Amino acid sequence: MARPKINRIICALPKYRSFIPAEQNGEVPTVVLTTDEYELIRLHDLEHLNQNQAADQMRVSRPTAAQLLASAHKKIADAIVNGKQIRIVDDHCCICPVGQQCELEKGETCPQKHRCCAACKDKFKPCH
């Protein structure tokens, strides 16, 4: 029997949940990205944290972070190359209370929200 998934810690839910190629008309195939994959893309590719730092912030192992990052990169590449929609869905994650209490609603420029370091493990609010 597989081990149950533990909640991964993210700073905030994504502001935008769907991306569609402008040139597509009608029904567009969809690639589903989970919130933990989104968070790793944000931490590693946008915030320039290495995999160890990103894994520590999300409270996952480095191999788990590497698997999630590889999965996210593959899905995004598939969507870009093949003209597919990207949809971000909630998965096993918790929102860090530091991110929730950010004074800025959008939070893009709040250093606390994006560098929360997942310090309060027992106080997380589930994503769903």
pLDDT number for residue 4: 73
Question: Higher model confidence: residue 62 or residue 95?
Answer: 62
**Which stretch of DSSP H or E encloses residue 85?**
strand 85-89
pLDDT number for residue 57: 84
CA angle 84, 82, 55 (to 5 degrees): 70
Beta strand 8-10 with 93-95 is: parallel
**What CA–CA distances, in Å, run from 18 to 51, 54, 62, 84?**
25, 24, 28, 11
First to last CA, the chain: 25
Average pLDDT (77-94) is 91
pLDDT number for residue 27: 85
Question: Higher model confidence: residue 119 or residue 28?
Answer: 28
